[in-house]
């Protein structure tokens, strides 16, 4: 079996490389206002990247007559007017949208409204709108009047999962896109040591904007202040790469997609003079030669990736990750990632658990202990990374956490590949 695997990986890589390079979307979905002069971020249009032409409104996200459905049960959700806001919070784009991502595999547009902590998507084949209920998206609580918590960056990466990041970089989210969506909190981004005084958490340089992915699994944040950061999804380290050059002083990057030629197209929510093409090699911008006028846009989305000029990592080859919901007392306070385990290391993150002594144990499906580690938790968001020997078989394991009384407080399945 081990002799066959390298051949299969090589064949899959050759196929997927062709697929990734051939999938170049020649369009982008744009979140705009219903009019060119407005700034409500409540309408969905399709932009032809070859001609610069916009479609008519595909979805009026403020129309409270639009039927909405539960993503799990597929049943229609009856709107319940709020005493203060009426049906505003229940309409698809009611509070405006600044984060959307196109899922080519399922032909869906995922999005989250500003100030509403919920992941939603549009089935672009039927134009039905689905809400993912029972799972808060960011788990950040009340967002009203707190722009730091708002999710403004979202993308579907080559691993088939969605990623989203809050304005302040303290909320990093991964979500699956299959029939039973699972939302996973990955913790806070970490500044690379080279960032010096330009932090991913700084409102003056790093809030807002949009996010794209490359074909090697990295994420790129283009902030509203035109700063560019590369984010490693495994380490959560954000590295400042520089600022976009040659943009007008009034231009704020609010939407970004990769065009068919591999450059970036960026839009602004405040400057309607033009969109701009950005060269990812040196982050220089040139005016996009589209139509005579453009819509202000708070977000752009398609499924193109930046080409990284690196070998595509095997774990990104047509993989739809399986998520397993954790159970027990600290189910919402402990996170395990990555899942599947793809680099022989599994990380356990303790989020606001009581200080004390804990034991982390990895067991196989027969309950046999594979490895154990005793840890002392004494700080918020403490992480412990454990190596899994290649001598162990690939497959499903359980990560268990026990308190000092040897009582199990957390269990989660992980897939070791």
323-350 pLDDT per residue, tens: 455 667 888 888 888 877 777 788 898 8
Tokens of 321: 């990750």
Q: Would the CA dihedral through 224, 225, 230, 232 be positive or negative? A: negative
Give the whole-angstrom CA distance, residue 167 versus residue 207: 5
365: enclosing H helix or E strand: none
Q: Tens digit of pLDDT for each residue in 381-409?
A: 788 888 887 777 677 888 999 999 888 89
pLDDT bucket at 263, cuts 50 / 70 / 90: very high
The stretch 123-138 carries a mean pLDDT of 95
Give the architecture-level CATH label for domain 27-301. 6 Propeller (2.120)
The stretch 292-317 carries a mean pLDDT of 75
DSSP lists the bridge partners of residue 362 as 371, 399
pLDDT at 7: 35
Q: Tens digit of pLDDT for each residue in 237-248?
A: 999 999 999 999
pLDDT bucket at 291, cuts 50 / 70 / 90: low
Tokens of 134: 């029972």
pLDDT value at 319 more than 70? no
Task: Return contacts of 16-25, CB within 8 angstroms, 24+ apart.
Answer: 16/312, 16/316, 16/317, 16/318, 17/312, 19/318, 20/158, 20/215, 20/305, 20/312, 21/307, 23/104, 23/303, 23/304, 24/260, 24/304, 25/49, 25/102, 25/104, 25/257, 25/260, 25/302, 25/303, 25/304
pTM attached to this predicted model? 0.71
pLDDT bucket at 364, cuts 50 / 70 / 90: confident
Residue extents of the structural domains in the chain: 27-301, 334-416
pLDDT at 238: 96
Lowest mean pLDDT among 105-109, 157-161, 231-235, 366-370: 366-370
Query: What is the CATH superfamily name and number for domain 334-416?
Result: Macroglobulin (MG2) domain (2.60.40.1930)
The stretch 105-122 carries a mean pLDDT of 94
Q: In sequence order, what are the residues at sequence separation of 6 or more whose Cβ sits closer than 8 angstroms to the Cβ of residue 65?
A: none
The stretch 132-150 carries a mean pLDDT of 87
The region that residue 214 occupies, defined by phi over 0 for left and psi between -120 and 50 for alpha, beta otherwise, is: beta
Residue 38: φ, ψ to 5°: -85, 170
pLDDT value at 229 more than 60? yes
Picking from 115, 120, 89, 99, the residue whose alpha carbon sits closest to that of residue 165 is 99
Q: Tens digit of pLDDT for each residue in 23-63?
A: 589 999 999 999 988 888 999 999 999 889 999 999 999 98
Picking from 46, 50, 45, 44, the residue whose alpha carbon sits closest to that of residue 26 is 50
pLDDT at 395: 79
pLDDT at 23: 55
Confirm if 187 and 207 have CB atoms less than 8 A apart.
Answer: no
């Amino acid at each position: 079996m081990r002799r066959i695997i390298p051949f299969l990986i090589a064949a899959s890589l050759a196929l997927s490389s062709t697929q990734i390079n051939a999938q170049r979307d020649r369009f982008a979905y744009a979140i705009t206002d219903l009019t060119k002069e407005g700034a409500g971020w409540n309408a969905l249009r399709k932009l032809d990247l070859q001609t610069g032409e916009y479609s008519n409104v595909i979805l009026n996200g403020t129309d409270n007559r639009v039927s909405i459905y539960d993503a799990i049960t597929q049943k229609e959700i009856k709107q319940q007017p709020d005493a203060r806001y009426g049906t505003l919070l229940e309409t698809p784009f009611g509070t405006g949208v600044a984060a959307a991502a196109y899922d080519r595999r399922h032909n869906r547009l995922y999005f989250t409204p500003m100030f509403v902590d919920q992941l939603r998507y549009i089935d672009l084949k039927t134009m039905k709108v689905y809400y993912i209920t029972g799972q808060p998206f960011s788990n950040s609580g009340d967002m009203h009047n707190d722009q730091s918590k708002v999710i403004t960056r979202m993308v579907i990466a080559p691993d088939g999962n969605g990623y989203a990041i809050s304005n302040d970089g303290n909320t990093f989210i991964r979500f699956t896109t299959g029939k039973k969506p699972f939302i996973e909190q990955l913790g806070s981004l970490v500044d690379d040591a080279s960032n010096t005084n330009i932090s991913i958490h700084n409102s003056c340089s790093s809030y807002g904007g949009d996010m794209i992915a490359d074909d090697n699994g990295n994420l790129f944040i283009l902030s509203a202040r035109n700063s560019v950061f590369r984010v490693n999804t495994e380490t959560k380290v954000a590295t400042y790469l520089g600022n976009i050059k040659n943009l007008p002083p009034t231009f704020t990057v609010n939407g970004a997609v990769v065009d068919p030629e591999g450059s970036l197209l960026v839009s602004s929510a405040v400057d309607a003079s033009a969109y701009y093409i950005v060269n990812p090699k040196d982050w220089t911008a040139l005016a996009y030669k589209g139509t005579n006028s453009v819509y202000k846009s708070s977000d752009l989305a398609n499924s193109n990736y930046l080409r990284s000029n690196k070998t595509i990592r095997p774990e990104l080859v047509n993989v739809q990750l399986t998520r397993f919901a954790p159970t027990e007392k600290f189910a919402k306070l402990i996170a395990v990632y990555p899942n599947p385990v793809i680099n022989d290391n599994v990380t356990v993150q303790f989020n606001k658990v009581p200080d004390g002594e804990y034991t982390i144990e990895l067991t196989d499906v027969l309950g046999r202990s594979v490895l154990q580690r005793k840890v002392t938790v004494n700080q918020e968001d403490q992480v412990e990374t454990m190596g899994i020997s290649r001598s162990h078989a690939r497959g499903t394991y359980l990560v268990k956490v026990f308190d000092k009384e040897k009582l199990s407080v957390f269990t989660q399945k992980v897939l070791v590949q």
